[in-house]
């Protein structure tokens, strides 16, 4: 399956996570299963709205001027001493430098451990009949190719809105989400950054409620 390009949507009611005095410079609805990329200028804020509820949004972020400086899950988790992201969490690169900061969050908790689905992981987990299914890795590769990035540039990603509890024995589960229609998370760029999003196409586990839906992305400037 080939992902169609994201489609622009007319401006709608701005969610409360967007500051009242902020200027909306981009407002778009990313269709279910599709990729989205954009350079976010330092100081601007990206708000992601879970339009239908229970939709995972896979996310990578790079320094826009030096993509070798990219999101590092170990540095991010070490810096905040927890595996979940919420308001106040700082997304860090491998040199521990801040890339983006979560400045608002009505969902409450976001995953850093579940990773991105791929044709290979789908085959391993769910059977060879799933190999033809589009997956997040393919979305990242498609979006990244527009900026000169390839498979070697993909790292462990964030899954906004995805519910991945950690059991006492350390085991992970992908279960029904804790998000709901209209919940949102906002991240402010601490420098010029390149964002890659995969609006997750997974249909074999509950991360999208077995029915992928659109996500709204809003970029604002203070």
Q: What is the pLDDT of residues 56-110, one digit of tens each?
A: 999 999 999 999 999 999 999 999 989 999 999 999 999 999 999 999 999 999 9
For residue 3, is pLDDT > 50? no
Q: How many CA atoms lie within 13 A of 142 on its CB side?
A: 19
Confidence at residue 175, expressed as pLDDT on a 0 to 100 scale: 80
For residue 4, is pLDDT > 60? no
More confident residue, 155 or 131: 155
217 located within any domain: yes
**Domain range holding 200?**
28-221
Q: In what order do the strands lie in the sheet with 23-30?
A: 7-8, 23-30, 215-221, 45-50, 183-189, 98-105, 90-92
**153: DSSP letter:** G
146 located within any domain: yes
**205: DSSP letter:** S
**65: DSSP letter:** T
How confident is the model over 142-151, as a mean pLDDT? 97
Q: What would the pLDDT profile of 164-221 be if each residue is shown by its tens digit? A: 988 888 777 778 889 999 999 999 999 999 999 999 999 888 889 899 999 999 999 9
178 located within any domain: yes
174 located within any domain: yes
Q: Are 136 and 144 in contact (CB under 8 A)?
A: no
Confidence at residue 24, expressed as pLDDT on a 0 to 100 scale: 94
Kindly report the number of other CB atoms within 10 A of residue 40's CB atom.
23
16 located within any domain: no
Q: Which segments within the chain are labelled E, that is strand?
A: 7-8, 23-30, 35-40, 45-50, 57-63, 66-70, 90-92, 98-105, 158-160, 183-189, 193-199, 215-221
Q: What would the pLDDT profile of 114-138 be if each residue is shown by its tens digit? A: 999 988 887 878 788 888 777 999 9
pLDDT > 70: percent of the chain: 92
17 located within any domain: no
127 located within any domain: yes
Question: Number of structural domains, the chain?
Answer: 1
């Amino acid at each position: 399956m080939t992902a169609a390009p994201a489609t622009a949507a007319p401006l709608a009611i701005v969610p409360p996570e967007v500051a009242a005095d902020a200027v909306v410079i981009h407002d778009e609805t990313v269709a279910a299963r599709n990729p989205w990329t954009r350079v976010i200028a330092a100081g601007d804020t990206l708000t992601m709205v879970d339009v239908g509820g229970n939709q995972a949004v896979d996310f990578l972020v790079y320094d826009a001027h030096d993509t070798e400086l990219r999101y590092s899950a170990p540095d991010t988790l070490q810096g905040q001493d927890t595996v979940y992201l919420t308001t106040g969490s700082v997304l860090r690169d491998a040199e521990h430098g801040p890339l983006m900061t979560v400045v608002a969050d009505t969902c409450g908790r976001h995953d850093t451990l579940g990773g991105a689905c791929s044709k290979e992981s789908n085959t391993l987990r769910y059977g060879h009949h799933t190999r033809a299914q589009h997956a997040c890795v393919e979305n990242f590769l498609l979006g990244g190719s527009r900026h000169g990035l390839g498979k070697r540039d993909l790292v462990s990603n964030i899954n906004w809105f995805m519910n991945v509890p950690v059991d006492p024995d350390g085991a992970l589960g992908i279960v029904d989400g804790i998000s709901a229609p209209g919940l949102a998370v906002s991240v402010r760029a601490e420098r010029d950054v390149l964002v890659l999003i995969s609006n997750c196409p997974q249909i074999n586990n509950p991360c999208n409620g077995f029915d992928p839906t659109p996500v709204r992305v809003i970029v604002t400037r203070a």
